[in-house]
Structure 1
Amino acid sequence: MIESLQIKKIASYCDEGVTISNLRKINFIYGANGCGKTTLTNFLNNPSELKFKDSSVHWKGSMPMKTLVYNKEFKERNFGKGSIDGVFTLGQATKEDIEAISKMQIELSEIKAKGYTRKENLAKLTDLKQTAENEFKDLVWFDIYKKYEVHFKEAFKGVMQKELFKERLIREYKENKSGLKTVEDLKKIADTVFGEAPEMLPLISSISFNRITELEEEPIWNKKIIGKSDIEIGNLIQKLNLNDWVNEGREYIQNNETCPFCQQNTITDNFKLQLEEYFDEKFAEESERIKTLSQEYLLLVQNFENSTQRIESTEKGNSKTKLDTDTFASLCKTITSQFTTNKELLLKKIKEPSRGIELLSTKLQAEIISSFILEANKKINEHNLISKNIGAVKTELISDIWKFLVEECKSIIELHIKKINGLNISIEKTKEQKDALLVEYKALDDKIKEANKNVTSVQASVDEINRVLKSYGFTNFRIEPSKTEKSQYLCLREDDTIAESTLSEGEVTFITFLYYLQLCKGSNSESDVSEERVLVVDDPISSLDSNVLFIVSSLLKQIIKNIKNGVGSIKQLILLTHNIYFHKEVSFIDGRTSQNVDTYFWILRKNNNTSTIQAFEMKNPISNSYELLWQELKEKALLSGISIQNTMRRIIENYFKILGKYGDDDLINSFDNPQDQEVCRSLICWINDGSHSIPDDLFIEHQEAVVERYYKVFKEIFENMNHLSHYEMMMGKVKGEPNIDVKALQPASVN
């Protein structure tokens, strides 16, 4: 069954087009001639035709049915070629045959219904799966991708779309065997690997400090260096603790007899000899050793400080440095302070050898500085290793990043996979059931077609058509099977001559429609008699009189009844007509029921050469032609100026002139003053002119003010003629019979 259709970009259907949705089993479309009905039926007859490429038909369950269209093209296609294709029906079938085929058809419908249910379930499950995929896709995109996009963008190359990222994440969950690293480690490596191609970095020179430590631990610094104690003067020097003082004063008495202390000539050769013996060779050696070791220490310290200053300066200027230069500088400042203290102590020791000193140990601080350099060099080696093997390192890093991302949302992934697996199982099971029903359906359908071949005949259709023709007075021609061509009909006169070319338009229309009805019940093929179908009927009574109109509507009403009751192979009817009486007759249900859920109504209009459609759902918008005129007048936004003129003229003619026997002068004279009478006269002239002629270029456009003025005068005519209540009823009434009081009109016409 057709659920909806859209037709556009063809004939009077514009680019936006017309959409007809919520189609039911029975559908009535009313429209005047030229509004686009034939274009619509031609589209339904062959929707795949190139000119209808922008239009579409949507079938229930995406299961198309055979569509049989009756319109002008149907008549031209089937009549005028001398013979007519025969229609196979169950003409030779016995009661048992018909019952057997009917039973199989019922079973086939049940299988089809089950298949449709499975198809719906499959669509729902597929939608659920798609919804779950979309939800998961959005979740990991915003919670994972967006969170790490800045740091790991290089690892996301090729998957910078939601769907691709989702698929990669699930694949990594199943396949990634990398070890798990922290996000901080990954970011650090990524800064190196994902940036510019890393260059090889030179190692930072190590600084030796072992000798400095040895010198700082030298025992001589704490040793008191003094002369011989067994010399006569030695006891006095040591007793007075003047060792360093006397040693320093020796420089002043080398070639001088004057004592540098008392300034008396007391320096004798014997005194000089005793001093020489006191400050013997051992004293001299130890004193010299102190000087030598001090000089070595100072030189090593100077080298150490120069090295640290050079490292600090170089690394601060290196944007790729791996050394914490600020901490390094602080450590160097501390050890420099320690060196300064030791320098002062050494100077004191050189000046006063008898004084014992203890140098500050810089070993711990030097070790810390050295470890800082070692740690920086370790990072440099790692960097250089990465630089040397950048391709392999990048691959490993990307794998590590995805492993981290998987672990970040592992529970979400597992829940999603579990849900999708469950849906996949249900989808596969439903699909298997649907496919099994399809196989069962095809087998039974083939069986029905084979049964139809054995009991179908074209004669039954011939008999039925001739019976109807005879019943309604068409006795001067008949339908007969061709004696030369199998499955062909001939239209013959009473003298057996071909009658097709001499039939009147009304006769051709009637017999064509009877042929169409037989085709609806059967088929041109023996095997397709029982095939489900949709009927599309466009104005079947265009040239027929009222008697034939009644029989056509009766035949269609029987089809409508069968469709509603689910009897037979016809499942849907779309009927289009411009004849209001026929529309009313064929759509009549009964005297008590006003609506039916299987029935839908539309009005198709054309304004400014553009077709539009208005849905009235289950409420029939057309009761008779007079009420339709009022409904059109109320919907003035949908009408052109000419349509408004024609509508007003027909209302006045029907109500006042035909029923009430009034003339134009009676209407004009109902106004009291001459000015109003002239306005009324201009209205009558306006509506007569607009409804009987096409305005020239000077009057092709109607101003809104003019239309509104005549709407006002139109109402005043009813008011002045004492029929305002009728005007208000018709303008306020949407649907139903107008209840025209003819007797109330006639007395006024006598006066």
Structure 2
Amino acid sequence: MITEIKLKGITSYKNEVIIPELKKLNFFFGSNGSGKSTIAKYLYNLSLNEDNRLLNISNCNQNGYNPIENEILVYDENFIKRNFIDKDSLNGIFSLNEKNAIIDDIIEKEQDLIDKYKLYLKDKLTIERAKILKDISDREKKLKEDCFKKRNQYNESFSKLSLKHSGNSANHLSEIRKLRKDNKEKNHSFNDLQNSYNLLYEKELKKINSNIDIILYRKVRKLEFKINNILQEVIIGNNDVDIADLINTLGIKKWVEEGTGYINLTLEKQKCPFCQNDTIDKEIIEKFNDYFDINYKNKINEIENLKNEYSDLISLLNENFNAIKNETNSTTINELIADFKDFIYDNEKTFRVKLEKSNEKKSLRSILEFKTNLKKIINDIKLNNSVFENIVTNKSKLDNEIWERLAFQSKSIIDDSDLEISKLNNRIKACDRLKIYINDKIANSEKIIDENKENTVNTNIAKDNINTILRSSGLSGFEIAPKTTENNITQYYLKRENYNDSVFKTLSEGEKNFISFLYFYQLCILTDDENKKDKKKIIVIDDPVSSLDSQVLFLVTTLIRELAKKKGKSPNHNEFALPNIEQVYVLSHNIYFFKEVTFVQGSNNKLCNDLNYFQITKINQQSSVIKLHKNNINSDYNLLWKGLYTLKSSSNNDMNIVISNLMRRIIQSYLNFTRLDNIEWNIINDLPPEEPKRIIFSALISQINDDSHHTSPFEEMHYQKISNTTPELLFEVFEMIFDEIGKEHKEAIIKYVTA
């Protein structure tokens, strides 16, 4: 049993409110909006697991509730919605069991989910997957095309070379991927590939038998070294001869030397070979011979001999070059031969100048100048002959290198495309996973439907009991009859003989509520779940009398009092007669109902004696609960109403002062009880100044407070008029006020005091 409730942070219970000393039987009274229904909602949510709770009750607490031992049953407006369910498709059919209603709702929701899942699979997921697959196909097609276009450069530049897969872009891409997988993509120079192609395909390739004569080249190099040594020497005649200065000064040594060759050494005197005068005699001849001595002549002769030897070697080397040219007309050999002619000419000139001016130092141009080109020619010949001898292998190598370069050129295209396709494939996988997930959800929903179809509650006993009460209450002419839906859940409709249309839609809200309460009563005395048969029930009843006529209201109060009936004889009066009931809460805003349900019938009182009364009020949007020492909700207050409506029938103006006094006490009592505020002028605070009701209410309040100190800005204007009015007019305005502050309360209590 719950002994205490703490409410905080829900609806109007902003600050902590503690409801202490809860008994077996607990009566709560409060006006509409005071926070009364929040207590019922808290207790209902307390019975739910955390995932299903409709209120955040984390800041609330209670003492005594044990969900293993107790079952909380709450009757309120939400119970009516949960258990008396109008189906649009089956007008007039409703459930008499919350569990059946929940099951029916679960099946309907699960079936809706199945339909939505299947529709999603068909209209969205399948279309989305097809779109992604098309994107993948388009990207793969474009990748094949882009990679295949890389062949164009080679098709144009290597026209005699036929690359494989020339008509199949898919096979071309597969070949590129294989090379990349084997890490064989290489950025070969296009010029190198083109040179190889020209050598293998464009030239009439043949073996070159000639080659640079390395031995001859080395002889020339060796001879150049020797020649340059002597060319660097300063070679002069005998300076001791008196004509030496003249020859050296005039620089006519070579000229003189050549001229002596034309002199006859046997003659005493002869003509000069240059001037043809008889100037040459024995003496001058001897001087010439002394000047051009044997050392000088030997040096000159050595230069002449080296020159001849060098010329022979150069001539042989030149022939070697020309022999190579005859076999290959390469640019390198042609340039070499042309440059070699200049080389020969320059060196011949060097020899000539040295012989003329032997005292000048000279040097030959070295054959070393051609070393680079000579090496290139040697390598070209070697390459040519190697290619010639391995032409099939070399063509295959060129083909492989072209593919390796194609693979390198396609690298970024393939990587970018693969990345995008990978993303799309991940989306395909996500679609497939989602499809599996949705199919699992469909299977789970189908399983839930099957399980719930097996767990429906048989409500035939409750149906029979309700029909019995309906007949005994005077609500004859119709009964509750069973009807089964397509979900195999027993539902019921209101059946009337000789009436084809649904009786349900002809019922008032009060009658519908009464039928719902009858079923709630059955839940309290029976059980709708075999698993709960041993649990004791905590029963919560919140305002069960809305829109009920007096006859039905009496039946409801009687049924509630049956639930709260005490057990046996003393000392068991603190227990309930029904052993499956642990505790009862009754909450209402209707004073007449409250009086009836709490009425203590003297020594014949049937209610459980372990009971308490509570009053619920709300000020400044904050609810509070006060424990009352006794049930003083309806005694003197009801007498005021009864006295007032006794005077109403007198129609005596002289009684206006008594009527006004009663009205003032009733209004103040009501305001004090419902709002903790007995200042009746506050009634008009929320009315606009121009509102006619404000003027009328103010006038009446002025009249009924004739003997008080309250004032009003409208008092002078309306006082005389009200004091001279008939009682009927006072009652009319009085009822208008209660229509504003508590219409249901007014109607209920007038019905009570005028009965």
Work out whether the TM-score is over 0.5.
no
Question: What TM-score do the two structures reach when normalised by structure 1?
Answer: 0.37
